[in-house]
Amino acid sequence: MQGKIALEEHYAIEDTLQDSNGYLPSETWEELSGRLMDIEGRRIDEMDQNGVEMMILSLNAPAVQAIYDRNRANEIAKKSNDMLAEWVQRNPGRFRGFAALPLQDVDMACAEMERCVKELGFVGALVNGFSQIDTEESAVYYDLPQYAPFWDVIADLDVPFYLHPRNPLPSMAQIYEGHPWLLGPTWAFGQETAVHSLRLMASGLFDRHPNLQIVLGHMGEGLPYSMWRIDNRNKWVGDERAYPAKKMLGNYFQNNFYITTSGNFRTQTLIDAMLEIGSDRILFSADWPFENVDHAANWFDVCTISEDDRLKIGRTNSMHLFDIEL
């Protein structure tokens, strides 16, 4: 399929490059770091070769979220956003931008979000899970009440928020001790991001902002497969809900979430997601440079879904969601 739009596609700047080191075998670092630092060379060739017309670019992970000094977090976010804005401006037919945000400080994050949308023309934010704030040992999640003004800004700007994975801190990861292969994309990324998403759903955030849209990668981080059970466990005890939100959580999943195919190129999983969240809320993505664009495209272009759904997932859903004209 030609004309695809992909939106979990990362780059790094010198200051954040090393954050991506250590997830893949060390002999691949030269290749991975080269892919991360390239914007207009190999990346555009990969797009051309695989029918990807546009990438919405985002900084690597955890990057800004792991910089617990809030002024430094703000500085790196601004620097990477400014660089991204230039690349987008030079290639308006090929790139859009997601803001990196210093959520260590709500006021700074609000100001940077407004600047990125109103001045730099970005189409949303991509944030790498919880933020460490002031101390390395902290992990602060965005359902907490201090983030209410930030969500007001996102809702006012009417742009989507991509909640991208990061690993849990070592102090939060006892379950993975002795099993380092479960960290990162294998399992820990999805677990961390799914729980964060459920916290947002249960917090009442989407009662306050019914039009707010969160994007999740990796075919929804396991949630499509689990939402029914989350709402229906132990039904014989009644359905008293011990959380602030007004509705069943599946209701928010279906109305306030989009999911992408990043790093999860599996037809069986896509069909489950289509049955649970619907093909209007699924968006093609690769997860370059951690995944190959050809692996994503060669699967997606021929997977056994209707051509109507392929066009929606591959292109038009993203055009509508991000207000992209091509």
| Binding site residues, ligand GRE, CB under 6 A | 10, 20, 23, 60-61, 184-185, 263, 287, 290
Instruction: Choose the binding region for Zn ion from 108-116, 152-160, 183-191, 285-293 (rule: CB under 5 A).
Output: 285-293
* Minimum distance of ligand GRE from residue 52's CB (angstroms): 17
Q: Looking at beta carbons only, is 27 or 307 nearer to ligand GRE? A: 27
Residue 168 touches which of Zn ion, ligand GRE, none (Cβ within 5-8 Å per kind): none
Helices (H), the chain: 29-37, 42-49, 70-90, 106-118, 148-157, 188-202, 205-208, 223-232, 249-256, 267-276, 293-300, 307-311, 317-321
> Site size for Zn ion, by CB under 5 A?
2
Instruction: Label each residue of 218-273 as H, E or C.
Output: HHHCCHHHHHHHHHHCCHHHCCCCCCCCCCCHHHHHHHHEEEECCCCCCHHHHHHH
* Minimum distance of ligand GRE from residue 264's CB (angstroms): 10
Q: Looking at beta carbons only, is 7 or 305 nearer to Zn ion? A: 7
For 82-90, the CB contacts below 8 A with 24+ separation are: 82/120, 83/13, 84/11, 84/57, 84/59, 84/120, 84/122, 85/116, 85/120, 85/121, 85/122, 87/39, 87/40, 87/57, 88/57, 88/120, 88/121, 88/122, 90/40
Residue 23 touches which of Zn ion, ligand GRE, none (Cβ within 5-8 Å per kind): ligand GRE
Burial class (CB in 10 A: 0-12, 13-18, 19+), 296: buried
Q: Looking at beta carbons only, is 76 or 305 nearer to ligand GRE? A: 76
* Cβ neighbours of 16 (radius 10 Å): 23
* Minimum distance of ligand GRE from residue 326's CB (angstroms): 25
Residue 309 touches which of Zn ion, ligand GRE, none (Cβ within 5-8 Å per kind): none
Active site residue 287: yes
Burial class (CB in 10 A: 0-12, 13-18, 19+), 225: middle
The CA distance from 291 to 320, in Å, is 25
Give 183's Cβ-side CA count (13 Å radius): 17
* Minimum distance of ligand GRE from residue 183's CB (angstroms): 10
Active-site annotation holder among 156, 287, 308, 309: 287
Q: Is residue 287 a contact point for Zn ion (CB under 5 A)?
A: yes
Q: Looking at beta carbons only, is 112 or 287 nearer to Zn ion? A: 287
The CA distance from 326 to 314, in Å, is 14
- Radius of gyration over every alpha carbon of the chain, rounded to an integer in angstroms: 19
Residue 220 touches which of Zn ion, ligand GRE, none (Cβ within 5-8 Å per kind): none
Residue 35 touches which of Zn ion, ligand GRE, none (Cβ within 5-8 Å per kind): none
* Minimum distance of ligand GRE from residue 307's CB (angstroms): 29
Q: Looking at beta carbons only, is 190 or 314 nearer to ligand GRE? A: 190
Residue 20 touches which of ligand GRE, Zn ion, none (Cβ within 5-8 Å per kind): ligand GRE
Instruction: Choose the binding region for Zn ion from 6-14, 224-232, 274-282, 313-321 (rule: CB under 5 A).
Output: 6-14
Q: Is residue 291 a contact point for Zn ion (CB under 5 A)?
A: no
Instruction: Choose the binding region for Zn ion from 3-11, 30-38, 94-102, 203-211 (rule: CB under 5 A).
Output: 3-11
* Minimum distance of ligand GRE from residue 269's CB (angstroms): 16
Q: Is residue 19 a contact point for Zn ion (CB under 5 A)?
A: no
Q: Looking at beta carbons only, is 42 or 118 nearer to Zn ion? A: 42
| Neighbouring residues of 176: CB distance < 8 A, sequence distance ≥ 6 | 168, 182, 183, 188
Active site members: 287
